Structure formats: C-alpha cells, structure tokens
Chains A and B, each alone.
Chain A
C-alpha cells in the first residue's frame, strides 16, 4: 500500500509540469496584455506600459519567461503577483483556509444529508417519501448556486435578519454559503446512494443476511451501505472538485475572500504568476483527493488490493 501511495505521489510531478506549461501557453494565446489591464478603467499610455513591461520581465521571449518561472517554482518560489508584487504563495495561503473551510463544510453537509436522504429514500422506496426526496433532489440539482445563494440572503439576512449576508468569520457567516454550495452535491449524492442501495438491497446476500437473523441496522449499514458506497466515494471525490469551482460564485455573492475569486480575478487581469499558482494548487488538490478516494476504496472493498 505504501509503495502504491509513493508511486502515485511521484505521478504528481508530470501532472504539475504539464499543467504549468498548458496554463502558461493558454494565458499567452488568449488576447489581453496584463500591463494594459493594470489600471482599471483608465489604461496606461504605451510608453509607460513599455517601461512597466520591462520592469516585470514581460518583454522577454516566452521560453525564457517559462524557464525562469519553472526554475524558481521547483525551489518553492512561485513568483510575485504582477499587480501586488506580493509573493504568490502568500496571496494563496491567505485565502486558502477560507475556501477550505467553506468547501469542506459543504462537503460534510452534503455527505451527511445526501447519504441519509439516499438511505431513507431507498428504505421508503415506492412511497411518497421516496418521491418527495427525489423531487427535492431534482430541484437541488437544477438550481444554480447564485440563485439559491441570493434567495437565502434575501430570506435569512434581509427579511428575517437572522444571519449576516457578507464576510467571513464565525459559524453564522459560514452556514448560508456552505448550505448553498452543498445543495447540488446533496442532491447528487442522495440519488446515487438511493439507486446504489436499491440495487444492493435486491442482492441475494442481503436475503442471506436477514435469514441469518442479523439485525436490520446491521444489514443496512454494514452490508448494504458499504457496498453502495464505492460509487459514492468516487462521487464525493468528484464533488469536491465541483465544490471548489462552485465556491467562486458563492464567494462572490457572499463577499467572502477565497481561492476561487483570487483565481478568477487573476485570470481577468492576466496576472500570470498568480494564475499559475492557483492552478497548481488546484491540481495538487485534485491529485491528492483522487489518491484519497482510491485508498478509501481499499478500506471499503476488500476485493480491491493494490499490487
């Protein structure tokens, strides 16, 4: 197992190299000059732009720029944001905890609610409860995050005055954005767990388990759910990616700092070092989450072993 994990971690290297090259190329292929974008609505004159471009080293050939970046990056220096001149790593680390909190809370809520609802729907299969849960799930999946966010703000902040609408810090500022983010994942997980459970509950080993006289709870949790969990674990991993993406919208609506907003603002400003930094962080997260998911398989399904 350990060698498997080590092997997977080594795979991180080609992934990071590939992604950084792709990002670098993409940002240079699309129209837009970061220096001209410095000044908001009032751009700089060409002469001043040329001076600034030279100061930032943006007038060097592309391969020189990339080589310089990569050389520093392997030593842990991700460069400085073009506009702020702050180390990219500092800017990212400043906002990462906020997004992590939001995303992990949303994931936990989605997992708890989604799996519970899925089990309930499966156990109550064919009744109105099943239909109700599935309808709610469809509503949850169809509502865009910004819509549900705005609705929640309207109701809980402005109409009822229960929760603050903006900012971060304290659970009362976390509950709405996390719930808004979690809605879609909850719905997806509920449907997945339900169909997984239904499939599994039909299996013959369930009949055997009951015939053996095992308690219903044991049957459901240990035998049925465990088998339904494999696709669910994959989905949880994928949902983390979706949540990181959805966090951009949520962060904007709720005026929370976060890596999503940082990345989007950096792209719009063509702030290459900052974009590279956020993309690399996202890539590392994905690879690690994937690894976690695969390791979790082994824990859940004894048939799966890594040679």
Chain B
C-alpha cells in the first residue's frame, strides 16, 4: 500500500480487493470477524436497551386503552391543590372528582354534590353530598373530605398553587352532618362554583395524612372513575378503571365504572410530533393542536377536530396608564384602539381561524356585552385624526412627535412564536398610524422581572376563566402587582367589580359588568385583539368525551373506542 500513491487512479474493486485480499482471511476468520462486529453492534443496541417497562399499548379487549397526547408537561406535582398547571388538572380531574361539573359556561350539574344552594350575598354555599361514594383507598366520602380539601388550600404547609386564588376569600367549612356541608366565604364570591371544577377536586384526607404531601403529590387519591397507576416523569401517566365506581353524574350517559380499561397520558411537547402520533395511531387524542394542521385534519374523515371558544378574557393588550411615556396619554391609547388591525392579526398569527375581539370578555362568558362591538372599529384614519388633534405630529421616519418626544412604546414579550407573531402584527398596524412600538422578546424569567419592575407600556394578557369576575383580576386596583398590568386604579370601577363579585342575581351582575366593560374600553386601558380558542383533535373511533366549559379539561368517563 505504501508503494501505491493516491495519484494512481485505481478502481475501487481493485483497491479494496487488494486491501482485503492482503488480509488473507480464510473463511473461518471471516466468519469470526463478521460475527464479532455484528455481536458488538447487537450488544450495543439490544443489550443496553433491554429491561425497561413499556407503556401499555392498545389492547383489543372491549374497553381498551386511550392514549392521550398531552401538549404540556405536568409541573412536578399531581396534587390538584398544589399544582399550577392546567395540564396537570387534565389528568387529575379523572382521579379527583369535583363537587360540581360545568359542561357549558354557567351551567352546573351534580358531581360529588347532588344539589346545592347559594345565598343571595354569595357568601354561603350549601352542598348536599352523594351517598355511598368511596375513595380509591376504600375510605368513605363524607363532608369531612370536603372540609379537609378546602382547609388545606389555605394552610401554608400545603403551598397551594392555583387553587389558592380560585378558592377566593375562603373563611371556613361547616360540617352540618355527614352529607351536608356549608362553605362560607369572608365576603361574597360568585365565581366559587365555576372554580370547583378543577383545582378543587376532592382528595382523600386519609391518604394525604398517611402518605404525606411529597408522596401524595406523586400518587393522588380521589373518588374518580379512574385510579392512578403510575407516573414516569416527563414520559407518561397511566390511570386505570375504578371497578367500584357507580356514582356517575346525571350529566353523563351512564353511572357505573368507566368504559375504558385505562388511559395513558403521554407527554409530547413537540407539536409536529404530537400531531404525527395522532396520524400514525400512536395516540388517539391530542390537545393543543397547531392551527396549521387544522384544515388538513378537518378534511380527513379518519380524524375529528374539536374547536371550542373559551370563556374569560381573550388575547388583549393592557396599556400602562401610569407610564411616564406616551402610553399615559389617553389619545395615544385610543388611537391604538382604532389603529390595530385585528383581522390582520388573526390572519398572520392564527391563519384566519380566530375571531376578532372587541371586549375584554369573550363571547361564551356570562355577562358578555355585545354593545362593546360598537365602541371601536378598525379605522386608521380616525386614529391619525385623534393623534393629530392631541398634538402628535408626524416627524422623521413617519413616527409622530410632540414637544421633542417621539411616540415610542415599550412592549416586552415572552419569546414564543405566537407571541412574536401577534406582537409584530400590532407593531405593523401601529406603524401605519405613526406609532413606534418597540417589541422586546425575552426569556420567561427575564420577562417576569421586567414586568415586576413595571418597565413596559404594553403587555399581552389572556386569562381563560369561567366567570366575568376575571375583570376584577385584570382591572381592580388591588391587583396592580399581579394581572392588572395596565396599573388601572379607578374607584368607581373597583366598587362595581366588588359588588358584582358578591351577588348571585344574574341580571344585576350582567348590568354591572356591562358598565365595567364599557368603562375600561372608554378609558382605553385595554385593546382587545382576538379570542382564545382551544383546538384538540382525535381519531374518529374515539367517542363520548366532553370538553368542559373552560374548553380546557376533557372528561373521559363516557369514552369508548369503536372498533
């Protein structure tokens, strides 16, 4: 070989043949060599790979296994009162049942409570509980469990998550008898019923006390139609049918045990992969469907796309009214109301699948005021007029100026694709009327810091919620350090928000919320953009599931998989 230079243009067979022949392998040596290579490769792959438990695969028996592709991971705990993630509740709601279910906004059906009454001042909630219900650990479900669940939310040791905000101004729970319980609030709190539907699922007091918080968070115990089986972190959660279950809500189509043998929630955060697994059959139901996949799946008869608007507050801009910059000027904010092209944003960020919004409340929400659709409209000419009249004259580069100051607004966002697309659309429409918006994409933690220091003029907000009380979260002066990013402090509005939260009379509430919606729009502290719509998808043979009123949780109790 050393004598043969690479300048010689030899044929491959000659070269390789010579090389191999010079090894002078006889048949035996060849077999040994081949065998050892194959063996080595085989060991490398198979030997190291063996021995792990496989997640269950769909079985042909009646009932079957549903594989649900979760788009978001859990947040390190399966304790419904401790978690902060909707994705966790998506799983735990099948294990820890609520007192009431809410299938459509404002409509409540019996869960663990057969019937209930709310005092007119929304302070006392009386529940009459189902009898003969047992937890998965065999202990009976009584009023004690309800008291235990609510009490633990406010106990510091629990380190409660979202449940804490949802329980509101909780005072105490009174056990009237084994099957009657009164939940008493410090002040009137109308949204309690809708909030019972998720993070306040009832847990077994015996199990929590016996296991301790850390273990319970990895093995929740409730009364649900499914029992927790296993949780492999970041991989999957398996729940199996509860054979003793026979207290199905009257809302559902049956009472006894669930039809499915088990449900495997697989965590697949990568969107395209998740959709692919639905198409290949590796999953049968997925959530958080990418709008891009929507039309293709809709046309395909093998799949069904589920599309449902959420109640609460949709994608809106909150404008910092206390800003020392131009955002503090009402004229500038009003100009944005007229200048932002909501349909354009819908097209560029949601490929036209969304709906333009004109109110901080979304249409499915109780007390949504349709009159808000007339307050503003897409009218760039009007926007320019307002700015001109306020003294903001067009200067260099098409950006307006007043008293030597440029009309520049700071808009920090979390660096996610959808946030960027929406921000850029807003930025483009604003440019058209001479407003310069400075969009700064940040990593989540850095973003939180900027928000905490109030260094912004514009902020995104969306808050799906079952009750118009979400307006209090967004606009009450007590929340300026939380979600009232607009720093809005108007005493009359505060008063209306407090009153509306503390009454149950629907008409009275609706009229107050109508006034509030009109007022926050008039003050232009919020620029509504588009709704939040949930897109899930399933294979056509999956039937019987219900997407709840919040368009977030999927109830799997009635689900069957057709063969």
A123, A171, A257: the one contacting B50 at CB < 8 Å is: A171
CA–CA, A46 and B463, complex, Å = 18
Contact A95 B448 (CB under 8 A): no
CA–CA, A124 and B8, complex, Å = 12
Residues of A close to B235: CB separation below 8 A: 167-168, 255-257
B19, B164, B450: the one contacting A216 at CB < 8 Å is: B19
Contact B446 A32 (CB under 8 A): yes
- Smallest Cβ distance from B461 to chain A, in angstroms? 10
- Smallest Cβ distance from A225 to chain B, in angstroms? 13
- Smallest Cβ distance from B29 to chain A, in angstroms? 8
Residues of A close to B22: CB separation below 8 A: 215-216, 219
Contact B75 A83 (CB under 8 A): yes
- Smallest Cβ distance from B482 to chain A, in angstroms? 5
CA–CA, A88 and B275, complex, Å = 33
Contact A126 B9 (CB under 8 A): yes
CA–CA, A216 and B15, complex, Å = 13
Q: Does A114 sit at the interface, judged by CB under 8 A?
A: no
B15, B218, B272: the one contacting A127 at CB < 8 Å is: B15
CA–CA, A167 and B53, complex, Å = 11
- Smallest Cβ distance from B483 to chain A, in angstroms? 8
CA–CA, A191 and B481, complex, Å = 58
Contact A109 B445 (CB under 8 A): no
- Smallest Cβ distance from A41 to chain B, in angstroms? 8
B6, B214, B268, B444: the one contacting A37 at CB < 8 Å is: B444
Q: Does A175 sit at the interface, judged by CB under 8 A?
A: yes
Contact B273 A166 (CB under 8 A): yes
Interface residues of B in 454-475 (CB under 8 A from A): 463
Residues of B close to A85: CB separation below 8 A: 159, 213-214, 217
Which one of A16-24, A154-162, A228-236 contacts B?
A154-162
Q: Does A262 sit at the interface, judged by CB under 8 A?
A: yes
Contact A171 B46 (CB under 8 A): yes
Q: Does B156 sit at the interface, judged by CB under 8 A?
A: yes
B21, B45, B50, B449: the one contacting A33 at CB < 8 Å is: B449
- Smallest Cβ distance from A111 to chain B, in angstroms? 9
Which one of A60-68, A100-108, A290-298, A299-307 contacts B?
A100-108
CA–CA, A207 and B3, complex, Å = 9
Known: A42-B162, A201-B2. A158 touches B49 (CB 8 A): no
> Interface code B26-70, partner A: CB below 8 Å = 1, 0 otherwise?
000100000001001100111011101111000000000000000
Known: A37-B444, A42-B162. A83 touches B77 (CB 8 A): yes
Which one of A48-56, A71-79, A135-143, A237-245 contacts B?
A48-56
- Smallest Cβ distance from A181 to chain B, in angstroms? 13
Contact A126 B6 (CB under 8 A): yes
Interface residues of B in 422-446 (CB under 8 A from A): 443-446
B7, B29, B482: the one contacting A43 at CB < 8 Å is: B482
Q: Does B384 sit at the interface, judged by CB under 8 A?
A: no
Q: Does A31 sit at the interface, judged by CB under 8 A?
A: yes
Known: A81-B76, A83-B75, A216-B24. A31 touches B49 (CB 8 A): no
Q: Does A268 sit at the interface, judged by CB under 8 A?
A: yes
- Smallest Cβ distance from A40 to chain B, in angstroms? 5
Residues of B close to A51: CB separation below 8 A: 156
Residues of A close to B214: CB separation below 8 A: 85-86
Known: A45-B481, A168-B235, A255-B266. A126 touches B15 (CB 8 A): yes
Residues of B close to A81: CB separation below 8 A: 76
Residues of B close to A169: CB separation below 8 A: 52-55
Q: Does B85 sit at the interface, judged by CB under 8 A?
A: yes
Contact B24 A215 (CB under 8 A): yes
Residues of B close to A42: CB separation below 8 A: 84, 162, 165, 463, 483
B16, B165, B276: the one contacting A123 at CB < 8 Å is: B16
A221 to chain B: closest residue by CB: B23
CA–CA, A206 and B4, complex, Å = 13
Interface residues of A in 92-132 (CB under 8 A from B): 94-95, 101, 104-105, 108-109, 112, 116, 120, 123-129
A84, A95, A153: the one contacting B273 at CB < 8 Å is: A153
Contact B236 A167 (CB under 8 A): yes
B44, B54, B217, B233: the one contacting A109 at CB < 8 Å is: B44
B14 to chain A: closest residue by CB: A127
Residues of B close to A91: CB separation below 8 A: 233
Interface size on A, residues (CB 8 A): 81
Q: Does B139 sit at the interface, judged by CB under 8 A?
A: no
Q: Does B1 sit at the interface, judged by CB under 8 A?
A: yes
Q: Does B115 sit at the interface, judged by CB under 8 A?
A: no
Q: Does A288 sit at the interface, judged by CB under 8 A?
A: no
Contact A40 B46 (CB under 8 A): no
Residues of A close to B295: CB separation below 8 A: none
- Smallest Cβ distance from A47 to chain B, in angstroms? 8
**What band does the interface of chain B fall in when counting residues whose beta carbon is under 8 Å from A?**
35 or more
CA–CA, A207 and B2, complex, Å = 6
Contact A123 B15 (CB under 8 A): yes
Known: A84-B77, A86-B214, A112-B40. A38 touches B276 (CB 8 A): no
CA–CA, A125 and B335, complex, Å = 71
Q: Does B253 sit at the interface, judged by CB under 8 A?
A: no
Interface residues of A in 248-305 (CB under 8 A from B): 252-258, 261-262, 265, 268-270
Contact B11 A127 (CB under 8 A): yes
A255 to chain B: closest residue by CB: B268
Residues of A close to B165: CB separation below 8 A: 42
- Which of B3, B29, B236, B279 has the most chain A CB within a 10 Å cutoff? B236
Q: Does A164 sit at the interface, judged by CB under 8 A?
A: yes
CA–CA, A124 and B1, complex, Å = 10
A37 to chain B: closest residue by CB: B445
CA–CA, A33 and B10, complex, Å = 66
- Smallest Cβ distance from A85 to chain B, in angstroms? 6
Contact B280 A165 (CB under 8 A): yes
Contact A101 B76 (CB under 8 A): no
Q: Does B282 sit at the interface, judged by CB under 8 A?
A: yes
Known: A154-B276, A268-B445. A86 touches B269 (CB 8 A): no
Q: Does A193 sit at the interface, judged by CB under 8 A?
A: no
Contact A165 B273 (CB under 8 A): yes
Contact A166 B266 (CB under 8 A): yes
Contact A165 B445 (CB under 8 A): no
Contact B45 A175 (CB under 8 A): yes
Contact A32 B448 (CB under 8 A): yes
Contact A157 B276 (CB under 8 A): yes
Q: Does A217 sit at the interface, judged by CB under 8 A?
A: yes
Contact B52 A170 (CB under 8 A): yes
12 interchain pairs, CB-CB under 8 A = A37-B444, A40-B75, A83-B76, A105-B45, A124-B16, A165-B273, A167-B55, A167-B266, A171-B45, A171-B46, A219-B22, A268-B443
Residues of B bordering A, CB below 8 Å = 1-3, 6-12, 15-16, 19-25, 29, 37, 40-41, 44-46, 48-50, 52-55, 73, 75-77, 84-86, 156, 159, 161-162, 164-165, 213-214, 217-218, 232-236, 266-270, 272-273, 276-277, 279-282, 443-446, 448-450, 452, 463, 479, 481-483
Extra A-B contacts (18), CB below 8 Å, given A45-B479, A210-B2, A257-B232:
A30-B445, A31-B449, A33-B452, A39-B84, A40-B84, A95-B234, A124-B12, A150-B272, A164-B282, A169-B53, A170-B49, A174-B48, A207-B3, A215-B22, A215-B23, A217-B25, A255-B266, A270-B445
Residues of A bordering B, CB below 8 Å = 30-33, 36-40, 42-46, 48, 51-52, 55, 81, 83-86, 91, 94-95, 101, 104-105, 108-109, 112, 116, 120, 123-129, 150, 153-154, 157-158, 161, 164-171, 174-175, 178, 201-202, 206-207, 210, 215-217, 219-220, 252-258, 261-262, 265, 268-270
10 nearest interchain CB pairs? A32-B445, A216-B22, A108-B44, A84-B76, A257-B234, A217-B23, A126-B6, A169-B52, A216-B23, A171-B49
